[in-house]
């Protein structure tokens, strides 16, 4: 069991757990690494490597216990106590994010939203209370929030990140199309939709071209 687990492995473990949860709902009790691999779109060896990281062992004949493995990943990934998340920016994207996460994981849920728009402040959207930006340090601290989601326009992202970090947040999920400058001990995950779409456009085009060449 390695002392430190790579970012990619953590991501896949999250995916595995979700798939396992679905299997469990479907009444499955056991599965083999190659089955989980196929569902996750990776190789069986990759699955077994990833599971080494959390020290979970399966049986050579039954494979893995769906429930046990799911719980084992949970113990590894999740905080023992509930983690609250702060969302900054309650525009189109912010509200879509709220709706997306609403009721999904009780241990990791959005507990406060922030926006400059006075019309939104003090309202409750998707079950989440909205606050003004000024209240951010207070609320983040009193709620013990360590995770922030940035769904603000690019120009406002760095400022919002700074305020969140100063208030005690240790990790950021950044939807704004701008690289954030934060202290090295703060974890930032970027979701850059423009970049992703351009990647898809590039490879869609490239593969279409390759296909043509293949027929020669």
Partner DNA sequence: GTAACGCTGTGAATAATTTCACAGAATAAT
Partner DNA sequence: ATTATTCTGTGAAATTATTCACAGCGTTAC
Positions that interact with DNA (CB under 7 A): 6-9, 32-34, 42-46, 48-49, 51-52, 56-64
Between CA 168 and CA 137 the distance in angstroms is: 8
Write the CB contacts of 152 (distance below 8 Å, at least 6 apart in sequence).
88, 89, 91, 94, 160, 176
Q: How far is the CB of 59 from DNA (least distance, A)?
A: 5
85 binds, among DNA, a copy of itself, none (CB under 5 to 8 A by kind): a copy of itself
The SS3 call for residue 189 is strand
Query: CB of residue 60 vs a copy of itself: minimum separation in angstroms?
Result: 26
Nearest to 82 by CA among 106, 65, 60, 59: 106
Q: Which of 14, 57, 59, 138 binds a copy of itself (CB under 8 A)?
A: 14
Q: Of 36, 30, 39, which is closest to residue 48 (Cα–Cα)? A: 36
Task: Tell me whether residue 6 or residue 122 sits nearer to DNA (CB atom).
Answer: 6
How many angstroms separate the CA atoms of 88 and 109, rounded?
14
The closest alpha carbon to 113, from 126, 131, 127, belongs to 131
| Pattern 118-157, a copy of itself, x by CB under 8 A | ----------------------------xx-x--------
Query: Applying CB under 8 A, does 6 fall inside the site for a copy of itself?
Result: no
The nearer residue to a copy of itself, 122 or 196, going by C-beta atoms, is 196
- The answer to whether 34 contacts a copy of itself (rule: CB under 8 A) is no
Q: Count residues near a copy of itself (CB under 8 A).
A: 60
Which of DNA, a copy of itself, none does residue 177 bind to, with CB < 5 to 8 Å depending on kind? Answer: a copy of itself
- Phi and psi dihedrals of 147, rounded to 5? -125, 135
- Please identify, using beta-carbon distances, which residue of 9 and 158 lies nearer to DNA: 9
Interacting span for a copy of itself (CB under 8 A) from 28-36, 49-57, 130-138, 191-199: 191-199
Strand partners for 80 = none
Distance between CA atoms of 96 and 91, rounded to whole angstroms? Answer: 8
The number of CA neighbours under 13 Å toward the Cβ of 108 is 13
Tokens linked to 214: 């293949």
User: Residue holding tokens 């900054």?
Assistant: 88
| Smallest distance, a copy of itself to C-beta of residue 189, A | 5
Comparing CB distances to DNA, the nearer of 53 and 126 is 53
Does residue 187 belong to the site contacting a copy of itself (CB under 8 A)?
Answer: yes
Binding status of residue 45 toward a copy of itself by CB under 8 A: no
């Amino acid at each position: 069991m390695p002392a430190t687990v790579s970012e990619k492995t953590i991501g896949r473990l999250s995916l595995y757990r979700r798939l396992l949860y679905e299997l469990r709902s479907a009444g499955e009790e056991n599965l083999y690494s190659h089955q989980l691999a196929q569902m996750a779109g990776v190789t069986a060896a990759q699955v077994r490597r990833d599971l080494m990281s959390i020290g979970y062992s399966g049986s050579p004949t039954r494979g893995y216990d769906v429930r046990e493995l799911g719980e084992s990943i949970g113990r590894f990934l999740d905080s023992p106590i509930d983690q609250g998340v702060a969302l900054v920016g309650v525009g189109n994207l912010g509200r879509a994010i709220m709706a997306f996460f609403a009721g999904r994981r009780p241990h990791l849920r959005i507990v406060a939203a922030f926006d400059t728009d006075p019309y939104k402040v003090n309202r409750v959207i998707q079950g989440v209370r909205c606050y003004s930006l000024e209240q951010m340090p207070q609320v983040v601290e009193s709620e013990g929030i360590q995770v922030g989601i940035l769904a603000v326009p690019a120009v406002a992202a760095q400022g919002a990140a700074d305020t969140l970090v100063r208030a005690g947040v240790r990790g950021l999920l950044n939807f704004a199309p701008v690289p954030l400058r934060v202290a090295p001990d703060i974890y930032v995950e970027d979701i850059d939709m423009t970049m992703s779409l351009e990647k898809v456009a590039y490879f869609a085009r490239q593969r279409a071209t390759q296909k043509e060449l293949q027929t020669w």
